């Protein structure tokens, strides 16, 4: 029976260059915290990527829906349905 082996002269696959997301260049702290999740990717099994991306999506959506003025959405709630004032 023939054994399946790797060829002897297979070039090494380069490691992917993961983004550096230390958050220093992101002014919004909620977005910076959410983007920091990306640093977890290299250590995760591919099967766990979907969960991480879902959490990242939810965190970024929450940051997007946060009123940066701290007015608790009072302006958005009083805006007319057509979007014009």
Q: Report if pTM > 0.75.
A: no
Which of 16-44 are b and which e, b meaning 16 or more Cβ less than 10 Å from the residue's Cβ?
eeeeebebeeeeeeebbebbeeeeebeee
pLDDT for the residue 80 = 46
Domain boundaries, the chain: 29-66
Query: Residue ranges of the chain with pLDDT lower than 50?
Result: 74-81, 83-85
pLDDT for the residue 76 = 45
Question: How long, in residues, is the chain?
Answer: 85
Query: Tens digits of per-residue pLDDT, 54-70?
Result: 999 999 999 999 887 77
pLDDT for the residue 78 = 44
């Amino acid at each position: 029976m023939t054994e399946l082996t790797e060829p002897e002269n297979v070039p090494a696959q380069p490691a992917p260059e993961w983004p550096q997301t230390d958050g220093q260049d992101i002014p919004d702290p909620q977005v910076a915290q959410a983007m920091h999740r990306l640093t977890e990717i290299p250590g995760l099994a591919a099967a766990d990527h979907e969960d991480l991306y879902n959490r990242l999506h939810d965190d970024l959506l929450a940051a997007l829906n946060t009123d940066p003025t701290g007015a608790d959405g009072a302006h958005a709630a009083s805006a007319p349905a057509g979007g014009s004032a």
